[in-house]
Structure 1
Amino acid sequence: MKKISLILTIIFLGQIFQSCHDDFDDMNVSPNNAEEVSPNYLLSYVISETTMRFYDLVNEHTDIAGAMQYTQRGTEFNAANQNCYQWGKGSWSGYYDILRTNQLMYEAGEEENNQFFMAASLIMKSFIFGLLADLYGDCPYSEALQANSSLLFPKYDAQKDVYEGVLTDLRTASEILEGLDSRLSVLASSDLLYGGERDKWIKFANSLRLRYCLRLDNKKGELGINTVNEFNDAASKVFESNDDNATLVLLGLSEDNSAAGGSVRSSNKPYAFKPGKPLVDYLKERNDPRLQRWINPVERKWDFTATEETTVNYIDIFGDSYEMTILPTNNTSLDTSVYVGLPIGYDNLEFLGNYNRGEGVRDYPDERSTYISYLSPIYFENSNDYVNPSLITYAEVEFILAEAAYLGDYGVSSVEEHYKAGIEASMDQYKILSEAQGFDFEEFYNQQTVSYNSSSITNKHELILTQKWIALWLQAEAWFDWRRTGYPDFEPAANPAYGPALPLRIAYPEPFADPQYVEKYEEAVANLVKTSYVPSNQSNDHSYSKMWLLQGTEKPY
């Protein structure tokens, strides 16, 4: 029923918002009047568009996924962009499209005296503006969305001010929701996240508060808002299980509601996207069953003990069977593992197409090396429960609490309890605990390379953030965590575009030619600080420049 309702909503919104999508280059163009559209439909639109944009920021095909070493391109086509950090300018018009509609939802809530829509609007506004500040730095905020007042060229607000506004709005939204009935005045089918359950929206708002309090940890002394108090106020009202995850169910019917690798959005199966070797090796070394949920075994496996070529059926921990050709070799440079990732940071086809091939035959297209693992078949489908995108998850919340306990400033106790719960929540999210055959979580956790109490691991902060990186598989938050902490301690690309380091931000969209807009853009660019990786003849507006959030922190470098 929920899927049918969403289909009808999508069809309806396609008609309602057609005129709104003709020209959205100017973030201040006013769309239809609020009274013409039910806030229920506006809510569905805002949730689905926001979640899909967030998903498309870091799915298996994206540059950030490459920087976080989740995936690599296995062909020359655009390999420099993803594998070697040759990032171009960003685009934020789509985010401001959503924000305009979200503002309509707030106004409709005011007009109908429906405080839920006002609270939901504040939460979604906070999510989007927080993300814009995360990606770019300073951005239009306080003066944005005011074309009706003839304010066509909004200033770029300081990144600090945007974050403070985000935290303030999230607290306000939580307070509004706490005063409402447990069943909200909204069509359950229009609330694509929680079906009108008030308590889950409260947890969503407060989980985001934790995210942003920790995001600002290195800069909390420069803020006009007390993030420790904010964290303490929010911490008792956050996600408690995966049932609380802010997850959108993909329908797989059109580009707007399908996974990136399915036939709706990819004319051919995207075999070019390979798992990164650091991720694969980390999971293999710990016998982590998430590897087998996300990654395929190789089709051709080298073996030092084999005497002749044979074909076998390899059965993974979930009982899935894969045909595999075993090839004899004595070449110790070859990876003889069942799961093989692509090394990081190459854009040369000779390397990408021949990695781990040895003297084996090369009878495959450039993108389909059978000596390297592909992504799991779930990433070739239009929809799949394991690929449904989330805005924030219970696993992330537990790792936030674990790090907060480790840092010691936030009133959270028991680092290990939350660290362990984060790993368990991640595995439960992918149904490892219920479907992996013969898997013992306690045995897994008690490994010296996993356990928080391990005597062989001295840097506990890095351990927390590295396991969080695994749990955040194909999510943008991993990049934001790395920028803030320097963990995981990634080896940069072998052939980086701008030197041996990972990018720090996305460059602003090209400014409009109008002098007023250019002036405001240049004011924001002047607030960025170049690192040594920015060529001297290039602008501060560069992916290797530091925004306020990173300035003076010596993080991540």
Structure 2
Amino acid sequence: MKRISKKIITFSLLFCGLTFSCKDLTELNENPNGVGTESVNPNLILPTVLTEAAKIYVDLGYQNIAGVVQHTQKDAWATEHNDYEWGGDQSWNKYYDVLRNNDLLYNRAVEMKFEYHQGVALVMKSFMFGLITDLWGDAPYTNALKGELGGTDNITPVFDDQSVIYAGIIADLEKANTLLSKSKGEYAGIVDNVDVYYSGDPVKWRKMANSLLLRYYMRISSKQPDIAKAGIEKIIANADKYPLILANTDDATMGFAGNSQNDSWPADTVFDASGSNYRRLKMCATFVEKLQALKDPRLAIWANKVQVPLVVDASLPAGTDKIVDGKRMLSPDKVGSAQIDTDPEYVGLPPSFSALPSAYNLNPTPGQTSYNPHVSFLNNMYKLAKGPLLRVRMISAAEVHFILAEAALKGWAAGSAKTHYEEAIKASFNTWTVSNSYAAYMAQPGVVFDNTLRQIIEQKWIAGWTAATEAWFDYRRTGFPELKAGPSAKRQVLPVRFYYMRDEININKANAQQALSKLQITSFSQADQENSPWSKQWLIQGTNKPW
């Protein structure tokens, strides 16, 4: 693991200087640009940990994982996003890079007796290791961050069992809950404007810690139901000791400064002058059609209406293909056997549609530089570098209520499943500024609570827009939504994990091979054998999910 180097601490200073007012910090170090790890103030490390973790999370949930769960598809450069052509180099280096900085943050906070920073560091440690084990399975954990201490065990660490990592995450979040239980005035060293999530508020960090506890208890619920049940019921029964994110104002989110490509919304057109990254990304037809079926007002917040609808009219003369009043009028012979969507408002791109997805819906300009006026583009706000709705959403009130709805549906003492289901949707509507439509939406037959896990997870999938990783992990665990791979996908079913990267297998061979041997080969693993996105990690082995 020694190849995973620390980011230079001065990046924190640069980020602070560009994005926030950090003049409060100048008194802490006479020469901040030359500060060493042995004397660095935790407030200089904190922005790097928070911003880099958030960017990793949104890059997953707005890019390739959004493709897996069919929130989005791409109509060019699409094989990774649409077809799961991931190759063998899905690196976790940047994840461990954040963790190494976070480890320094924690150790310096212990040395300086900054309990608030210790609590925050444990929350972020849990979040990042949670992502690693969720995505890959077994991973270096106990000895993962000790490469600089010397010794073979530290530079080629063992892979801990996935169950051990989840247990460690839960223990660290319990410890964070205790460390963050004081009033703000009782802590030393808090500088509000370097905390880009919660502005130095320990109460909100404590809620994030306990909400993540719920996330990981539910994550292990199929494998360790007794532990999950006891953990969630303990949290609900002791609300004063375990406060949760139950309102939008407590959501763990991060906005963007919009000063450069590095601190802007991904795939914006401000710093991508060609606009190609925005132009290629389309909402998936699976998602669009579900939203339309439910008359969901969030669709208009997330996507634009199609620019030029298709109209097929049998009364037109053969060979007709012309624009009339902003519509493309076609005689049936001009369509032939092509798969098309004539919806006059919103058209999504079908999942893994073909090797040339840009050709969908009779696009007149297919190819890598296509501009398809017959498929809906994402909302114009996603062209911007920053904005009130352009936020990384690490964990939210909507997610917490959905978790509690599922727990209650299992018969656990978590309150009313119906109430939590309704509160979850309300929280999402509040987030996306459509709260005025909430009552009408909830009155629809397809939305009125039907007491099924399918409905809870489908609504959670919808609410997870731009934060699709949780939707993927829920799909693996429950089989919902019932997503189907498209005709050009690498396999007939959706993948369930990331590849271990080749460098790890080559450099840390013995330990990597041990981890690989514990993956369950499935009929979809094929030539990849153990190290396949279709081999099952411990978390879903023996569950008969998701396929």
TM range (shorter): 0.7 to 0.9
**In 2, distance between residues paired with 1:495 and 1:145?**
40
Q: Does 2:360 correspond to 1:355?
A: yes
Q: Does 2:198 correspond to 1:190?
A: no
- Deviation track 1:277-306 (CA, whole Å, cap 9, x = no partner) reads 010111111111110000111110134689
Asked if 2 retains the 8 angstrom alpha-carbon contact of 1:193 and 1:246, the reply is: yes
- Please, which of 254, 257, 270 is the counterpart of residue 260 of structure 2? 254
**In 2, distance between residues paired with 1:272 and 1:430?**
23
Give the counterpart letter for 1:426 in structure 2. Answer: S
Gaps of 5+ in 1: 20-31, 312-324, 434-438, 454-458
- Deviation track 1:216-272 (CA, whole Å, cap 9, x = no partner) reads 110115x8xx33232233343111211111111101112331111213553421211
Q: What is the CA distance between 1:353 and its match in structure 2?
A: 3.1
Equivalent residue, structure 2, for 1:112: 112
Q: What is the CA distance between 1:18 and its match in structure 2?
A: 10
Equivalent residue, structure 1, for 2:19: 6
* Distance 1:365-1:114 versus aligned 2 partners, 3 A rule: closer
Equivalent residue, structure 2, for 1:276: 284
**In 1, distance between residues paired with 2:294 and 2:231?**
36
Q: Does 2:538 correspond to 1:540?
A: no
How does 1:23-34 map onto structure 2 within 5 Å? 33-34=36-37
Q: Does 2:464 correspond to 1:472?
A: yes
Give the counterpart letter for 1:82 in structure 2. Answer: H
Q: Does 2:289 correspond to 1:286?
A: no
- Please, which of 447, 455, 461 is the counterpart of residue 444 of structure 2? 447
**In 1, distance between residues paired with 2:306 and 2:69?**
22
**In 1, distance between residues paired with 2:304 and 2:327?**
16
Give the counterpart letter for 1:477 in structure 2. Answer: E
Asked if 2 retains the 8 angstrom alpha-carbon contact of 1:44 and 1:190, the reply is: yes
* Distance 1:365-1:145 versus aligned 2 partners, 3 A rule: closer
Task: Give the alignment's TM-score, normalised by structure 1.
Answer: 0.84
Equivalent residue, structure 1, for 2:510: 519
Q: What is the CA distance between 1:3 and its match in structure 2?
A: 8.4
- Please, which of 411, 422, 426 is the counterpart of residue 420 of structure 1? 422
**In 1, distance between residues paired with 2:101 and 2:533?**
30
Q: What is the CA distance between 1:97 and its match in structure 2?
A: 1.1
* Distance 1:261-1:18 versus aligned 2 partners, 3 A rule: farther
Q: Does 2:167 correspond to 1:164?
A: yes
The DSSP-based 3-state class of the residue aligned with 2:223 is helix
* Distance 1:17-1:467 versus aligned 2 partners, 3 A rule: farther
Give the counterpart letter for 2:99 in structure 1. Answer: L
How does 1:94-133 map onto structure 2 within 5 Å? 94-133=94-133
Asked if 2 retains the 8 angstrom alpha-carbon contact of 1:207 and 1:239, the reply is: yes
**In 1, distance between residues paired with 2:505 and 2:455?**
48
- Please, which of 469, 487, 509 is the counterpart of residue 480 of structure 2? 487
Asked if 2 retains the 8 angstrom alpha-carbon contact of 1:54 and 1:391, the reply is: yes
Q: Does 2:498 correspond to 1:506?
A: yes
**In 1, distance between residues paired with 2:535 and 2:249?**
39
**What number of residue pairs does the alignment pair up?**
503
Equivalent residue, structure 2, for 1:319: none
Give the counterpart letter for 2:59 in structure 1. Answer: D
Asked if 2 retains the 8 angstrom alpha-carbon contact of 1:529 and 1:551, the reply is: yes
Asked if 1 retains the 8 angstrom alpha-carbon contact of 2:95 and 2:128, the reply is: yes
Q: What is the CA distance between 1:81 and its match in structure 2?
A: 1.7
Q: What is the CA distance between 1:401 and its match in structure 2?
A: 0.9
Equivalent residue, structure 1, for 2:49: 46
RMSD: 2.7
Asked if 2 retains the 8 angstrom alpha-carbon contact of 1:278 and 1:341, the reply is: yes
* Distance 1:232-1:291 versus aligned 2 partners, 3 A rule: same
- Please, which of 46, 57, 61 is the counterpart of residue 60 of structure 2? 57
The DSSP-based 3-state class of the residue aligned with 1:247 is strand
Equivalent residue, structure 2, for 1:24: none
**In 1, distance between residues paired with 2:138 and 2:271?**
33
How does 1:304-453 map onto structure 2 within 5 Å? 309-311=323-325, 325-329=326-330, 331=332, 334-349=341-356, 352-357=357-362, 366-409=369-412, 411-433=413-435, 439-453=436-450
How does 1:145-160 map onto structure 2 within 5 Å? 145-150=145-150, 151-160=154-163
- Please, which of 237, 240, 260 is the counterpart of residue 246 of structure 2? 240
Gaps of 5+ in 2: 1-14, 317-321
Q: What is the CA distance between 1:367 and its match in structure 2?
A: 2.6
**In 1, distance between residues paired with 2:132 and 2:270?**
28
* Distance 1:70-1:513 versus aligned 2 partners, 3 A rule: closer
- Deviation track 1:426-450 (CA, whole Å, cap 9, x = no partner) reads 11101112xxxxx532121111111
**In 1, distance between residues paired with 2:513 and 2:495?**
21
**In 1, distance between residues paired with 2:107 and 2:341?**
62
Asked if 1 retains the 8 angstrom alpha-carbon contact of 2:257 and 2:264, the reply is: yes
Q: Sequence identity of aligned pairs in percent?
A: 31
Give the counterpart letter for 2:105 in structure 1. Answer: M
Asked if 2 retains the 8 angstrom alpha-carbon contact of 1:485 and 1:556, the reply is: yes
Q: What is the CA distance between 1:309 and its match in structure 2?
A: 4.8
**In 1, distance between residues paired with 2:399 and 2:235?**
15
Asked if 1 retains the 8 angstrom alpha-carbon contact of 2:197 and 2:254, the reply is: yes
**In 2, distance between residues paired with 1:467 and 1:114?**
40
Give the counterpart letter for 2:124 in structure 1. Answer: M
The DSSP-based 3-state class of the residue aligned with 1:210 is helix
**In 2, distance between residues paired with 1:354 and 1:194?**
45
Q: What is the CA distance between 1:524 and its match in structure 2?
A: 0.7
Q: What is the CA distance between 1:529 and its match in structure 2?
A: 1.0
Asked if 2 retains the 8 angstrom alpha-carbon contact of 1:80 and 1:347, the reply is: no
Give the counterpart letter for 1:520 in structure 2. Answer: N
